[in-house]
Structure 1
């Protein structure tokens, strides 16, 4: 099998661990074969093994985007574009967006709503090596109420039998998880308002139970405070957006947050890279209130994971790092932010083979100029990206690579 020894000034095995100075990672067959000091591994590895020397750089786990929509084009009206797109043209556009994500250092994405299970087809092409992109966890068609949020994707359900059939259909199509639109959403103004429930508490429990029967976890789109409570009680794995909306404004409930922590439910707040545009659109007062709620959740122990909602208006596929910068402005430390994007995200998504650089894990890793733990801009200077040991060919080979 082909082997590659990557050496750099620093190796971050996981954000909470002490970095290895003058470290190295040995990649073999798409997996990490060894991690340690460069001098020791260089001596231990056969001289014929290819070396990739990256002076001034840091090797760290590949980034995880826990919330994207590859079928959306980030335009002002992405829903219309998806609804009327030719399937072949849409599939080609999705493949391009996947390449953009990989080039930005994202080696795993969780797609939370597409059309015709196109993400499953793209996932298979990437795994086979016929397409370039990150690992994809696909939710396929989200469950929504009749006339509800993103109903145009084909997941409208009303009765219990509808729910069971919808989940079975997604599972048969190859879904990795189930997405439920538990509340209304901004992209569907004709449906329920953002804080309003689209399913009863009993129906949400049924959705989780039925998904579990198929071996699938549930990600819940939930804005309303009451809806968030129902999702927590139902046992979803992650809550998307989690904005604590009520008809009167924001209604944060620390007791619900406590139950989220107790049940190991993570929050994907879904912040686009251009978060400053988001602030301007909301207005300073509302934006500040949302930021303060995030701080309160953090103080109460709620675990955040990184997600950009790429594909919705203004959320480009190539600016993952801007989202991390947003959390840094709220007081999240560099180590904490990186954990949201790697180890913590992998845990929340139920992935045990990525999110860290340890022996036996998938070789999902990036090489950056500088050290992201000390330099906030380092993640914008990516030299190399590897997904399952495959080097992203679109990136310029700025390291020096030569046979040993």
Structure 2
């Protein structure tokens, strides 16, 4: 068994920052063997990385990507310290290709996905996702079939995703999809860029909502109700910003008379955060949609945007580490402690003092395997 150590390093374990110590892990591939607060003799260790002046973080999690199976996307995510990705938009064919790549090559990020997005016959999804794979759901019976085919079909859905904005699926059918997802032991994820979408997701009982409204402010009472029932939110601010810019350029706001503004997105995250809603960091990283978002680097943008919204730096880091593991049931990662996967990110500086320090990447490990060929994004 090959044993490695990172010495004299400040450790953000997914929940809190601890003073400099040592982390011992098994390599190629492996788990964390121990986190030690005090100095010790490391002479029996196979390889030691000096971590003075650095902070060790759990590998980052991007909770909303749209890779479209572009060649080497997983390698790019890894190079930016992202060790787990949750695909919310790709097609069944793309998902099969990405799963095969992730399984075949050690040291790549873990890949989870959902398959087609459930929509109504008349929906905004074609405007926002002209290249994506949607599936029309017209009745409660079709809701059951949609979930069953998603879980057992080619995409092997890890969760179920539904467009809840208007015009869209009837409320009765939304509730039927949620109940079907839960019967299959899957989370129900709502896609909503409208205020009304958040209200509809709450009433239907969705577990997670992706994106954040850009058409006005969320009601504080609704935010409190979301927090009370444990609903999580993936604001996906990078995507909301790109989408708001696109709609402005296309004149959608002036044509519709609706006030569409990215400032609403920023304010809405603060409303949800203040209410105690669990926030996960996600980007909808993609290079194929009408509003592209950079692969990998955008998660560091997202952390900075979360802090800009008013989240503390420690909660922004939690949003990309421990919180999504709790929301999506990924119990083997997101925290640096004995027995967890050695998914880790070593950066120069202290991200609790300056969130942009997450860009100063020195090393990345995925399940104990060091990511070797990566394009640096910091100093």
- Alignment TM-score, normalising by the size of structure 1: 0.80
Q: Contact 1:384 / 1:395 at 8 angstroms: preserved in 2?
A: no
Q: Contact 2:212 / 2:240 at 8 angstroms: preserved in 1?
A: no
More deviation, 3-12/19-28: 19-28
- Candidates 40, 50, 53, aligned match of 1:53: 50
d(CA) in 1 for partners of 2:191 and 2:110?
Answer: 22
d(CA) in 1 for partners of 2:51 and 2:102?
Answer: 27
Question: Is residue 68 of structure 1 aligned with residue 54 of structure 2?
Answer: no
Structure 2 residues without counterparts, runs of 5 or longer: 250-258
Q: 1:191 corresponds to which residue?
A: none
- CA drift of 1:125 comes to 3.0
Question: Is residue 211 of structure 1 aligned with residue 177 of structure 2?
Answer: no
Note closer, same or farther for the CA distance 1:350–1:334 as it changes in structure 2 (3 Å cut).
same
- CA drift of 1:286 comes to 2.4
> 1:305-332: CA deviations, max 9, x gaps?
1011111423111322111111222222
Q: 2:85 corresponds to which residue?
A: 109
- Candidates 203, 215, 235, aligned match of 1:269: 235
> 1:278-323: CA deviations, max 9, x gaps?
5697599823333223222222222221011111423111322111
- CA drift of 1:22 comes to 3.3
Q: Contact 2:216 / 2:260 at 8 angstroms: preserved in 1?
A: no
d(CA) in 1 for partners of 2:56 and 2:217?
Answer: 41
- CA drift of 1:356 comes to 0.8
Q: 1:379 corresponds to which residue?
A: 358
- Candidates 147, 157, 163, aligned match of 1:175: 157
Q: Contact 1:138 / 1:177 at 8 angstroms: preserved in 2?
A: yes
- Candidates 269, 283, 297, aligned match of 1:308: 283
Question: Is residue 236 of structure 1 aligned with residue 235 of structure 2?
Answer: no
DSSP 3-state at the match of 1:9: strand
Q: Contact 2:61 / 2:85 at 8 angstroms: preserved in 1?
A: yes
d(CA) in 1 for partners of 2:346 and 2:217?
Answer: 42
d(CA) in 2 for partners of 1:171 and 1:6?
Answer: 40
- Alignment TM-score, normalising by the size of structure 2: 0.85
- CA drift of 1:197 comes to 4.1
d(CA) in 2 for partners of 1:162 and 1:213?
Answer: 15
d(CA) in 1 for partners of 2:319 and 2:306?
Answer: 10
Q: 1:123 corresponds to which residue?
A: 99
- CA drift of 1:273 comes to 8.2
d(CA) in 2 for partners of 1:101 and 1:274?
Answer: 20
> 1:218-238: CA deviations, max 9, x gaps?
111023333322212322221
d(CA) in 2 for partners of 1:145 and 1:266?
Answer: 24
DSSP 3-state at the match of 1:19: strand
- CA drift of 1:378 comes to 1.5
Q: Contact 2:65 / 2:284 at 8 angstroms: preserved in 1?
A: yes
More deviation, 335-344/155-164: 155-164
- CA drift of 1:146 comes to 2.2
DSSP 3-state at the match of 2:212: strand
DSSP 3-state at the match of 2:118: coil
- Candidates 295, 299, 320, aligned match of 1:317: 295
d(CA) in 1 for partners of 2:219 and 2:266?
Answer: 15
Q: Contact 2:325 / 2:333 at 8 angstroms: preserved in 1?
A: yes
Q: 2:120 corresponds to which residue?
A: 145
Q: Contact 1:368 / 1:378 at 8 angstroms: preserved in 2?
A: yes
Structure 1 residues without counterparts, runs of 5 or longer: 72-90, 184-195, 398-404
- CA drift of 1:61 comes to 0.7
- Runs of at least 4 residues of structure 1 off by over 4 A? 273-285
Note closer, same or farther for the CA distance 1:54–1:274 as it changes in structure 2 (3 Å cut).
farther
> 1:236-284: CA deviations, max 9, x gaps?
22101131x6xxx425222221111011111111122895995697599
Note closer, same or farther for the CA distance 1:48–1:322 as it changes in structure 2 (3 Å cut).
closer
Q: 1:36 corresponds to which residue?
A: 36
Q: Contact 2:3 / 2:45 at 8 angstroms: preserved in 1?
A: no
> 1:351-397: CA deviations, max 9, x gaps?
21111101111111101011212233311111111122222121379
Q: How many residues align?
A: 355
